[in-house]
Chain A
Amino acid sequence: MKKYPFKFLDAYDKEDRKIFFGRDDEIAELYRLVFQTNLLLVYGASGTGKTSLIRCGLANRFKPSQWLDLLIRRGSDINASLLDAIRKRQPRAQSVSLIGQEQENDWFSSLMEADQESGITESESSQIKSQNPVAQALQDLYLATFTPIYLIFDQFEELYTLGNPEEQRQFTRTIAELVKLPLPVRIIIVMREEYLARLYDLERAVPQLRNYKLRVAPMDLPMVEQVILSATVRNPESNIELEQGKEQEIVHTIVDKIREGDISVKLPYLQLFMDRLYEKVTGEATDRSRDAHLNLELVQQMGNIDVVLANFINQQSEHIYRKLAPKYLDLPNDIVWHILSPFATMDGLKVPIKQEDLHQIAATLKLSDTGQADELIKEVVAELETSRILRYRKEEQTYEVVHDTLALQIADKRSEEEKTYLKARRTVTEGFASYQDTKTLLSREQLSFIRPYESRLETEIKTDQQGFITKSKNKRRRQRIGLWAGVVAAFLIAIAVIFIVIKEQQKTKKALETALRTQAAKDALEFKSLESRAALIIKVGGNPIDIVNKMDTLFFNHTDSTRWKKQIDIMRDKIKNHNDFK
């Protein structure tokens, strides 16, 4: 039976071996590396097919008895998700024991009794000593399956973009223990290359991470052409046919439309483009079972990938709106975008949202009838899942955008207000992360920035993050009060100083006046004495010039005193008259 040979935006898994092409060299290298280390890093740009390379390419190099893979996404906490993933794979207890209840019991008892001295020292023991629940769970899983376990941490960058420092530290401790386990367990970390620097702490704890890594490069144009040909023309089970004689031209045109002027191609673009092309030919929205014949003219009519991508989400959004508008009155026409918004970070990364947390999206919607919000969200999310924009991850009970390519579109589509709100939210989340390390609270400017969004933030951020805002605000309030108290104290001190200065000035002035009065009294006495002497001289004769000079000095000392002036003038006249008479 013929099948559609592409996967839309889902990763390829073990069952897709027949339609997974173009990565033979990378698979061989990956296969070689997993025998050299139990901790391997696979990194590359978004859309290079890292997950498919492992889950399909590498997985198919092993027999089922050699490969038990656990795909672990961060979820709400990577440590909990890891433990959960291991425990979920634990098979149910065997119903029949190998040992029968009768003589086999006796047989084993006799063996035990015969073994008088075990002779095994503690250090020789092969049992796992770790108290780490992950190590214990892995041992239980291994002993239940006797199959080598591959822990594949997919989209590992989420630990750094969405996780908190304590979560990161705990994970580092766990990995450092797991690499030493005497069990056939291998760990593969898969992440986008732009986040490699964030591995610093993990690399310090587990140095072999530095030595064993594989970069998955974007697929170059000739290889993408070969992939399309392998999936269609050379694949007898493909339900897509290319116009005969024009296969190369068609393939070349497709690649040209999805390359965005680059020398390589993002593989999700190829998947999406082929999906849209298929729908254009067959008219089927989601069913991919019909045969499709692609001709060159049709391919040429398709827009470039940016247009195709934007149209895809727009069409789905409009379709969902038209479907739900009659049921929900006054439904905003951008309601689907609003509901999609929390599923992407500002940078266009996927944000998984737990099913139980979907109702929190209601706070972001501007609905006239808020009572219907929960139901509306559920319906829109269900429609988005049908439209293959959202995916439900059963293991973690979360919804997420099917690929970062779409998350980027969602991020771009946001209103300026929404973008600002997200910046405010990021200010809080990053500030909180930093606070846990450095105990630094939000600054006054940061608090001012988030203030308009506080009520919305309260409904969308975690309790400890809310506590962080409150703590920052309290600290800011205390700072403000402290500042005001300082100002008032400074004012009071200034007043006191001024008062003291004035008082001192008054005291000085008073002392000066007293001194002046004392001096004046003293001078008056001297003047009297002089006057007496002058009178005596007038009376008995003699030279009064010394007295005149002293009187002049006194005059100059008291030029501002009219009394002195008058008296001196009188004395001068007297002395003058006396001299004239003489």
Chain B
Amino acid sequence: MSGKRNNVINSYLVLETLKAIPNGPHAKELFRKLKQEIQEGRAKRTPTDAEMKDVIVRSFLAPISVHLRTLFSQGLSEKHDEVRLRQLWTTYREAIKLFAFILLSDLWDTRLKLEKPLHIEEAERLHLKAFFELNAYTAADFDYFLLMDALLKLAQANEVSCYLEELNQYAEGWAQNEILSSANEHFQMIRSVLEEDVPSRLIETYCILSEQHLAHVLGAWHFLISYKMAVIKNIEVQRIKNMPPAIFKHALVELDNNYNDIGHKDRWEDLNQPTDMESVLLYRDAVHDNLNLSPFILDENALTREFNSKIYFFSHVSEAGLHYYWIENVKDTLLISDQQYAYVKLQFEKARQDILNEKPLRGTRSEIAEDDDILSFL
């Protein structure tokens, strides 16, 4: 790494991340383009900054790529300031939250498949309980890295093979990984710094260090580019007399690789078996072999049956109920019908009960004939 390069905003992040994902389809596409230029007789060149950033943004899953895109945006690429520092922290936080939500969804599915309670050590139970009981105050400070660490240990203890199979290599948890733990330590420090007035003399240093740590963790999580996300809006069954088998037509929006968080991108995909609908799915090769991320990650447009997608992350619980926020702006909260909300809340409560092997909370809908509610809703 040259000293000169270090001074250019985003340079470390872009180059280190690109080095980590040379086998991704978008990196390969860029290589092919440059090779083709040489074959056509044009001068050999290195990719432009924009081309490299574009490959990175297109490669990662939408909840991470939208934040990388923001980091690369013109306003945040010009100087080291508090806005950029906050965005670096946000990118890290949302990435680690995505991991946590994936693993929570995975464990919930595994628990139901096992048909027996998960074995949970007390330390991990505390982390999990803390997550399920997050409120407006604790949500801001909650360390998802520790939750991830606990979830990985829990998976190990219960011999769960993770849907993200690359996570199996972290059987001892993330805390044992030098790169990840030092990055988290740094970003937790940044979080606390951002709660106060950041000393201007330190902002540049914080930004540079944060960029480096972010580059390291993205390098470590490079395997994420092999996965895709999609939203299933609804499913139509196409069954013709004496002409088996039935076809399940899925209305879906792909969320990654193509900036599909916006745009008129709904399309139909025919599958032999139905998947879950009104859900955000993670998959590797085929949509039907997926991991449903509800109720931790939701798509407002899927729930309201509108085109395109608008992805929300779970935030916390209050007396008013569950709180979600749009992944690009925490002030933008989920707007769905009461009927839909009841369904989401019920899912969340069932996930909590199933994972923690606990009884329904007092006053929750699951205490009062929840199955009837679901059936009547459906």
Residues of A within 8 A of B262 (CB): 35, 38, 148, 184, 186
Residues of B within 8 A of A107 (CB): 15, 19
* Residues of chain B in range 49-91 having any CB-CB distance to chain A below 8 Å: 49-54, 57-58, 69-70, 72-77, 87
Q: Which residue of B lies closest to A36 (CB)?
A: B306
Q: Which residue of B lies closest to A66 (CB)?
A: B328
Residues of A within 8 A of B258 (CB): 126, 182
CB pair B75–A102 under 8 Å, yes or no, is no
Also in contact, A183 and B2, with CB within 8 A (given A35-B310, A115-B31, A145-B73): no
Cα of A72 to Cα of B373 in the assembled complex, Å:
51
* Residues of chain B in range 12-39 having any CB-CB distance to chain A below 8 Å: 14-15, 19, 22, 25-26, 28-29, 31-35
Residues of B within 8 A of A115 (CB): 22, 28, 31
Among A111, A126, A208, point to the contact of B58 (Cβ < 8 A).
Answer: A126
Q: Smallest distance from the beta carbon of B346 to chain A beta carbons, Å?
A: 25
CB pair B28–A108 under 8 Å, yes or no, is no
A104 at the interface (CB under 8 A from B): yes
Cα of A107 to Cα of B73 in the assembled complex, Å:
25
Q: Which residue of A lies closest to B6 (CB)?
A: A100
Residues of B within 8 A of A554 (CB): none
B11 at the interface (CB under 8 A from A): yes
Interface 0/1 of A42-78, CB less than 8 Å to B: 0000000000000000000111111000000000000
**Looking at the complex, which of A89-97, A325-333, A409-417, A498-506 is the stretch in contact with chain B?**
A89-97
Q: Smallest distance from the beta carbon of B334 to chain A beta carbons, Å?
A: 12
Q: Interface residue tally of chain B, by bracket?
A: 35 or more
A545 at the interface (CB under 8 A from B): no
A124 at the interface (CB under 8 A from B): yes
User: Secondary structure at chain B's binding surface: helix, strand, loop or mixed?
Assistant: helix
Interface 0/1 of B152-186, CB less than 8 Å to A: 00000000000000000000000000000000000
Residues of B within 8 A of A119 (CB): 25, 28
A131 at the interface (CB under 8 A from B): no
Q: Count the A-B residue pairs with Cβ separation under 8 angstroms: how many? A: 137
Also in contact, A120 and B14, with CB within 8 A (given A99-B46, A143-B50, A182-B258): no
Residues of B within 8 A of A180 (CB): 264
A446 at the interface (CB under 8 A from B): no
Residues of B within 8 A of A39 (CB): 264
Cα of A111 to Cα of B17 in the assembled complex, Å:
13
CB pair A145–B28 under 8 Å, yes or no, is no
Residues of B within 8 A of A62 (CB): 329
CB pair B53–A146 under 8 Å, yes or no, is yes
CB pair B31–A112 under 8 Å, yes or no, is yes
A118 at the interface (CB under 8 A from B): yes
Q: Smallest distance from the beta carbon of A129 to chain B beta carbons, Å?
A: 13
CB pair A184–B259 under 8 Å, yes or no, is yes
B341 at the interface (CB under 8 A from A): no
CB pair A103–B29 under 8 Å, yes or no, is no
Cα of A181 to Cα of B258 in the assembled complex, Å:
10
Interface 0/1 of B334-369, CB less than 8 Å to A: 010000000000000000000000000000000000
Interface 0/1 of A448-459, CB less than 8 Å to B: 000000000000
CB pair B74–A146 under 8 Å, yes or no, is yes
Q: Which residue of A lies closest to B51 (CB)?
A: A143
B308 at the interface (CB under 8 A from A): yes
Q: Smallest distance from the beta carbon of A388 to chain B beta carbons, Å?
A: 32
Cα of A112 to Cα of B74 in the assembled complex, Å:
28
Interface 0/1 of A114-155, CB less than 8 Å to B: 110011100011110000000000000001111110000000
Among A37, A127, A146, A208, point to the contact of B29 (Cβ < 8 A).
Answer: A127
A98 at the interface (CB under 8 A from B): yes
Q: Which residue of B lies closest to A179 (CB)?
A: B264
CB pair A183–B259 under 8 Å, yes or no, is yes
Cα of A125 to Cα of B58 in the assembled complex, Å:
11
Cα of A104 to Cα of B76 in the assembled complex, Å:
24
Q: Smallest distance from the beta carbon of B67 to chain A beta carbons, Å?
A: 10
Residues of A within 8 A of B11 (CB): 98-99
CB pair A65–B70 under 8 Å, yes or no, is yes
Interface 0/1 of B275-319, CB less than 8 Å to A: 000000000000000000000000011000011111000000000
Also in contact, A111 and B22, with CB within 8 A (given A65-B75, A145-B73, A146-B53): yes
A32 at the interface (CB under 8 A from B): yes
B113 at the interface (CB under 8 A from A): no
Q: Which residue of B lies closest to A211 (CB)?
A: B307
A553 at the interface (CB under 8 A from B): no
Residues of A within 8 A of B300 (CB): 35
CB pair A36–B307 under 8 Å, yes or no, is yes
A519 at the interface (CB under 8 A from B): no
B263 at the interface (CB under 8 A from A): yes
Also in contact, A125 and B57, with CB within 8 A (given A98-B15, A146-B69, A146-B74): no
B245 at the interface (CB under 8 A from A): no
Also in contact, A147 and B29, with CB within 8 A (given A38-B262, A98-B10, A104-B15): no
Also in contact, A32 and B49, with CB within 8 A (given A183-B259, A184-B259): no
Cα of A186 to Cα of B307 in the assembled complex, Å:
14
CB pair A208–B259 under 8 Å, yes or no, is no
A105 at the interface (CB under 8 A from B): yes
Residues of B within 8 A of A208 (CB): 264, 307
Cα of A181 to Cα of B329 in the assembled complex, Å:
24
CB pair A118–B2 under 8 Å, yes or no, is no
CB pair B32–A36 under 8 Å, yes or no, is no
B105 at the interface (CB under 8 A from A): no
Q: Smallest distance from the beta carbon of B212 to chain A beta carbons, Å?
A: 14
CB pair B264–A120 under 8 Å, yes or no, is no
* Residues of chain B in range 255-276 having any CB-CB distance to chain A below 8 Å: 257-259, 261-264
* Residues of chain B in range 199-226 having any CB-CB distance to chain A below 8 Å: none
Among B4, B7, B76, B259, point to the contact of A65 (Cβ < 8 A).
Answer: B76
CB pair A105–B49 under 8 Å, yes or no, is no
Q: Which residue of B lies closest to A106 (CB)?
A: B46
A to B CB contacts below 8 Å, 8 in the list:
A65-B87, A94-B49, A99-B11, A100-B5, A115-B31, A143-B54, A179-B264, A183-B259
Q: Which residues of B are at the interface with A, using a C-beta cutoff of 8 A?
A: 2, 4-5, 7-8, 10-11, 14-15, 19, 22, 25-26, 28-29, 31-35, 44, 46-54, 57-58, 69-70, 72-77, 87, 257-259, 261-264, 300-301, 306-310, 328-329, 332, 335
The 5 closest A-B pairs by CB, nearest first: A143-B50, A118-B32, A65-B73, A146-B72, A98-B11
